[in-house]
Amino acid sequence: MKRQIIDKLEQYETIIIHRHVRPDPDAYGSQLGLKELIRANYPEKRVFAAGTHDPSLGYLGRPELVPGGAYEGALVIVTDTANTERIDGCRYREGAELLKIDHHPDEDRYGDMRWVLPAMSSTSEMIYDLAREGAAYRGWTLTDVAARLLFAGIVGDTGRFVYPSASPDTFRAAADLISHDFDRTALYDSMFEMDAALLKLNGYIYQNMEMDENGAAVIRITSETMERFGVTPEDTAKLVGAPGIVKGIKAWLFKVEEPDQIRLRFRSKGPVVNTIAKRFGGGGHALAAGASAKDWATAEEAAQALREICR
Ligand code: AMP
């Protein structure tokens, strides 16, 4: 499969890479890391990263405006995005061919070609594997810039190598990536530093989360609370993994009020939560999934479902 992908890349002069909305480090890492790999090894090709820029990920780079007409005859690649509704940028359909590269369960089998490995820690780890294959097959080099991006994606999606998705291969990839020249400490600071307001909200979360005797915890964050702490719904993304350190916790749900919906973010240390997310119109991984609820009553139904699977 990896060689087929490399053959495909070689066939096209223009390659446009998309990823999912509400990007995270793995979305940016896999998208911009792949772009950097192609740019470095095929300097004659035109490569674009599409999508809306998220300033909180500015330390990784930024996507660009894809010029009009660029899609014609282009290869379009979508990284880290399970379903078409979550692709950032609707023009992904306008290329000559569409390739999906992802590590989420392959429920929406879009694209002319798919390379989907749900057991992988991250899409960035898959791009790293592609780079290794490229080295063996076509003498590719992995630049320091690409190494930093892929490392960031792996760190992000494994919760700093803590989640069980971090395999021996993930650690081997990380070992190789950190042998490149980039400032790891500065990268960690960019990824994990939190301002005082967010840390205060984190304290509020620990004080107010409701955990039952079965280890199911529910955290409700209203607009009023976020206003009081001076943070936005997007900021809360940095806190969603934190309750994992609470003794006895099995799975938890963040209910975060957004202007027109309640965002549901499920995390788990065992019970499978993407089945619940799916019931509420979302999806994701077995241990990290998300969905949206139209109101608090629906969000409470999701909380109840979480309590039930922990029983
Ligand atoms: P999040 O809580 O936004 O970090 O999402 C965790 C995981 O759940 C992500 O990797 C996504 O794959 C998935 N996910 C979140 N929201 C949705 C959604 N509305 N539809 C499908 N998958 C989602």
Average the pLDDT over 159-168 and give the result: 95
Give the DSSP per-residue string, 123-154.
Answer: HHHHHHHHHHHHHHHH-----HHHHHHHHHHH
Counting residues of the chain whose pLDDT is more than 70, the rounded percentage is: 100
What's the pLDDT score for residue 107? Answer: 87
pLDDT at 43 > cutoff 90: yes
What's the pLDDT score for residue 18? Answer: 98
Distance from residue 118's CA to the centre of ligand 1 (Å): 14
92-109 residue pLDDT tens: 999 999 999 999 999 899
Distance from residue 275's CA to the centre of ligand 1 (Å): 12
pLDDT at 55 > cutoff 90: yes
Query: Residues near ligand 1 with C-beta < 6 Å?
Result: 82, 86, 104, 240, 265, 282-285, 288-292
Average the pLDDT over 204-233 and give the result: 96
Of 253, 285, 292, 294, which is best to mutate to test ligand 1, by the most ligand atoms within 8 angstroms of its C-beta? 285
Indicate which atom in ligand 1 lies nearest the CA of residue 22.
Answer: 3
Indicate which atom in ligand 1 lies nearest the CA of residue 289.
Answer: 8
The DSSP output letter for 140 is -
Tell me the angle at which helices 168-177 and 123-138 cross, rounded to the nearest 10 degrees.
70
Nearest CA to ligand 1 atom 13: 284
Average the pLDDT over 117-140 and give the result: 98
Percent of the chain as helix, strand, coil, to the nearest 5: 45, 20, 35
What's the pLDDT score for residue 41? Answer: 98
Indicate which atom in ligand 1 lies nearest the CA of residue 254.
Answer: 2
Nearest CA to ligand 1 atom 8: 289
pLDDT at 213 > cutoff 90: yes
Nearest CA to ligand 1 atom 20: 282
Average the pLDDT over 31-48 and give the result: 98
User: Closest Cα partner for 187 from 63, 32, 57, 62?
Assistant: 57
Contact (Cβ atoms closer than 8 angstroms) between residue 265 and residue 256:
yes
Confidence of residue 68 (pLDDT cuts 50, 70, 90): confident
234-293 residue pLDDT tens: 889 889 999 999 999 999 999 999 999 999 999 999 999 999 999 999 999 999 999 999
